[in-house]
Amino acid sequence: MSIENKQKQVESTLRLAPVVPVVIIEDARHAVPMARALVAGGIPAIEVTLRTPAALDAIKAIAEEVEGAVVGVGTVLSAKDLRAAHKAGAKFAVSPGVSPGLLDAADDSDLPLLPGAATASEVMTLLERGYRFLKFFPAVPAGGHKLLGAWASPLPQVTFCPTGGISLSSAPEFLSLPNVVCVGGSWLTPADKLRNGDWSGIEALAREAAALR
């Protein structure tokens, strides 16, 4: 699959809702009810990060059992991560940054990649490789909405999903920018609600997020 076709898939995923939840899941048994709650609340694209041993099992369960969910994989660092996530059923991949090895692996994979960038030079490098949709990470520590807004004029070809330090209250600052398609956030699936199985609480957080636009 060409990079352009993969970028079109990334775009369609990012346009599903104003927020992509960034999930750290400790127990794969929580994956399906959590994802169903997010979808019910209007948030279908879900990024499950590779930060716990349960992540790949969680991705597989969501991909197989949750109608309407578009499950992706986050914290992708290597070709091995891409292969494992694709095999588990992920529909998109997200990386915190980039390396030549990861970009080469993404070229050879059918799994669409949303690569991370935090500087104008990184954005330009990714643009040369055919990437028009990027993750801006870590969004708040790297300069927040003011830095991202400053890139809109010199880098109009690129659209961002800022992630890192964003909350329900600060998300509108980013979503108002012309070069932002959505934001990523961990506030939709807090650890205490996952641990306690508070699926109605997660659905309520998803509804709040979905209403941002």
- Ordered domains of the chain (ranges, CATH): 3-116+167-172+182-210 (3.20.20.70)
Q: Which of 47, 60, 193, 203 is catalytic?
A: 47
159: exposed, middle or buried (Cβ count in 10 Å: 0-12, 13-18, 19+): buried
Q: Which of 6, 91, 135, 193 is catalytic?
A: 135
How does pLDDT run across 152-211, given as a tens digit for each residue? 999 999 999 999 999 999 999 999 999 999 999 999 999 999 999 999 999 999 999 999
Dihedral sign for Cα 24, 12, 132, 43, please. Answer: negative
How does pLDDT run across 137-155, given as a tens digit for each residue? 999 999 999 999 999 999 9
Which tokens hold the place of 192? 């205490």
Interhelix angle 199-210/31-40, rounded to 10 degrees, is 40
Task: For residue 47, indicate whether it is catalytic.
Answer: yes
Q: What is the DSSP letter of 19?
A: E
C-alpha span between 62 and 56 (Å, rounded): 10
How does pLDDT run across 17-58, given as a tens digit for each residue? 999 999 999 999 999 999 999 999 999 999 999 999 999 999
Closest CA to 34 of 10, 50, 15, 55: 55
Task: For residue 135, indicate whether it is catalytic.
Answer: yes
